[in-house]
């Protein structure tokens, strides 16, 4: 029951912070992220990231990405698949190379430097999705490219993480837990995307039609949640982010006649409880331990975390034929880091590759980049020429 008090505090503060952020012309998610930093271990220490907060946060990101899938256009995603792959690839090469070299120059060993580069290679677009939804840019060509690149980025991140684990093992460094072979992981992920096609084409329409025939209140909404949570669980099983599974579940359900009804039912559920907890949980990861000792590397890596994705993904977009303004939107939309970076950093910490102070510094950089990302994305969207974002229909 104590958690109910914590949940009540989070909901009150995120509502007030979101309202203030909107009045100041700042994305509401910024206010919610700052609530986590203020009430968490970094400052007031009123709320800790315990198992219940983490559980609600995990459900929040799943619902957020499900809503993103509901509002997405599958044909548009397929149309911009090639530029999405180019954007994801260039957006991985730049941070791995530049952040790795910078870490080596700062005094980290070559293996530690490579690991730091891999930590910041993966994007988490959950927060970018919230900003794109807020500015009605999710179904534009820029939004489709960002979402497609996020899927490709997640796969590349899993491959890099598997390679790093293999490299650590070859150096005699143990990592926590057993890790499946890379080939098996890739086969499982190919099977996942094959199963996703079957879900979109046949399974989801059948299940949604069946649910409508059930004599049960909210049966259509319940069935959509079953598909959403089930896909998130399966995606996690094959080494992908659960958010990716939820996103494709949203796309699958969107291609049924129940899209508008579900948006009206699921969005209030997510925004009322789970999604605010997700944004707060990002801030709860921040601590100020050893801040003074690592201020230099934190500042440098935070700048590079933003710049390498902005330039890397932006360059990939330019090479794919996007305008400079559109490339900037895509680059800023790929800046936020998330669960893959946190998982990679945790593996490095457990393996003894990143000491306590270095691990705290990497977590802080991930959070700072995630807080900065929506601000930059908002500015990039504001500077787009009038009407240009609507050209993707």
pLDDT tens for 89-148 read 999 999 999 999 999 999 999 999 999 999 999 888 888 888 888 888 888 999 999 999
Q: What confidence score (pLDDT) does residue 35 get?
A: 95
> Of 178-182, 236-240, 369-373, which one has max mean pLDDT?
369-373
- Residue 177 scores a pLDDT above 60: no
Q: Which residue has the higher pLDDT, 159 or 254?
A: 254
Q: Measuring CA to CA, which residue among 232, 263, 265, 233 is closest to residue 249?
A: 232
Percent of the chain with pLDDT over 90: 51
Q: What confidence score (pLDDT) does residue 315 get?
A: 96
Rounded to the nearest integer, the mean pLDDT of the chain is 88
- Residue 390 scores a pLDDT above 70: no
Percent of the chain with pLDDT over 70: 94
Q: What confidence score (pLDDT) does residue 39 get?
A: 96
Average pLDDT over residues 356-370: 87
Q: Measuring CA to CA, which residue among 272, 264, 271, 203 is closest to residue 231?
A: 203
The two structure tokens encoding residue 191 = 């099977």
Q: What confidence score (pLDDT) does residue 392 get?
A: 47
Q: Which residue has the higher pLDDT, 36 or 186?
A: 36
Q: What confidence score (pLDDT) does residue 128 get?
A: 87
Average pLDDT over residues 341-345: 79
Question: Which of the four pLDDT bands, split at 50, 70 and 90, describes residue 360?
Answer: confident
Question: Which of the four pLDDT bands, split at 50, 70 and 90, describes residue 29?
Answer: confident
Q: Write out pLDDT tens, residues 58-68.
A: 999 899 989 98
Q: What confidence score (pLDDT) does residue 126 get?
A: 84
Question: Which of the four pLDDT bands, split at 50, 70 and 90, describes residue 393?
Answer: very low
- Residue 9 scores a pLDDT above 70: yes
Average pLDDT over residues 252-272: 90
Q: Which residue has the higher pLDDT, 39 or 382?
A: 39
Question: Which of the four pLDDT bands, split at 50, 70 and 90, describes residue 161?
Answer: confident
Residues 6 or more apart whose Cβ sits within 8 Å of residue 202: none
Question: Which of the four pLDDT bands, split at 50, 70 and 90, describes residue 187?
Answer: confident
Q: What number of residues does the chain have?
A: 393
Q: What confidence score (pLDDT) does residue 91 get?
A: 95
Q: What confidence score (pLDDT) does residue 122 get?
A: 84
pTM attached to this predicted model = 0.83
Chain centroid, CA 243 distance in Å: 7
Contact 236, 58 (CB under 8 A): no
Residues 6 or more apart whose Cβ sits within 8 Å of residue 386: none
Q: Write out pLDDT tens, residues 277-323.
A: 999 998 888 888 777 788 999 999 999 999 999 999 999 999 999 99
Chain centroid, CA 44 distance in Å: 26
- Residue 169 scores a pLDDT above 80: no
Around Cβ 16, how many Cβ atoms within 10 Å?
A: 12
Q: Measuring CA to CA, which residue among 339, 350, 375, 321 is closest to residue 135?
A: 375
- Residue 222 scores a pLDDT above 80: yes
Around Cβ 58, how many Cβ atoms within 10 Å?
A: 19
Question: Which of the four pLDDT bands, split at 50, 70 and 90, describes residue 188?
Answer: confident
- Residue 334 scores a pLDDT above 70: yes
Q: What confidence score (pLDDT) does residue 387 get?
A: 61
- Residue 87 scores a pLDDT above 70: yes
């Amino acid at each position: 029951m104590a958690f109910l008090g914590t949940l009540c505090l989070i909901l009150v503060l995120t509502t007030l912070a979101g309202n203030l952020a909107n009045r100041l012309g700042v994305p509401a998610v910024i206010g919610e992220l700052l609530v986590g930093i203020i009430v968490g271990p970094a400052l007031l220490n009123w709320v800790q990231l315990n198992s219940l907060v983490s559980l609600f946060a995990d459900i929040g990101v799943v619902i957020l990405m499900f809503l993103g899938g509901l509002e997405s256009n599958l044909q548009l995603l397929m149309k911009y698949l090639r530029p999405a792959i180019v954007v994801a690839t260039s957006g991985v090469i730049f941070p791995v190379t530049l952040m790795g070299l910078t870490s080596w120059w700062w005094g980290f060993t070559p293996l530690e430097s490579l690991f730091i580069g891999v930590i910041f290679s993966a994007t988490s677009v959950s927060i970018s999705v919230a900003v794109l939804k807020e500015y009605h840019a999710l179904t534009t060509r820029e939004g489709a490219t960002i979402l497609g690149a996020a899927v490709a980025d997640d796969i590349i991140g899993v491959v890099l993480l598997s390679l790093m684990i293999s490299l650590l093992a070859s150096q005699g460094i143990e990592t926590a837990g057993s890790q499946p072979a890379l080939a098996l992981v890739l086969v499982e992920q190919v099977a996942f995307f094959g199963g996703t096609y079957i879900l979109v084409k046949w399974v989801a329409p059948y299940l949604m039609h069946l649910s409508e025939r059930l004599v049960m209140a909210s049966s259509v909404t319940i069935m959509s949640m079953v598909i959403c949570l089930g896909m998130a669980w399966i995606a996690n099983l094959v080494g992908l982010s659960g958010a990716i599974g939820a996103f494709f579940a949203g796309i699958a359900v969107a291609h049924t006649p129940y899209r508008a009804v579900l948006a009206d039912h699921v969005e209030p559920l997510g925004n009322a409880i789970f999604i605010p907890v997700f944004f707060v949980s990002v801030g709860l990861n921040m601590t100020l331990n050893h801040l003074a000792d690592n201020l230099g590397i934190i500042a440098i890596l935070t700048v590079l975390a933003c710049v390498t994705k902005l330039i890397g993904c932006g360059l990939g977009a330019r090479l794919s034929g996007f305008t400079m303004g559109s490339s900037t939107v895509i680059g800023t939309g790929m800046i936020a880091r998330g669960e893959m970076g946190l998982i990679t950093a945790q593996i490095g910490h457990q393996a003894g590759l990143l000491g306590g102070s270095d691990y705290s510094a990497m977590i802080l950089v991930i959070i700072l980049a995630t807080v900065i990302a929506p601000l930059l994305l908002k500015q990039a969207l504001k500077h787009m020429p009038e009407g240009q974002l609507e050209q993707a229909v």
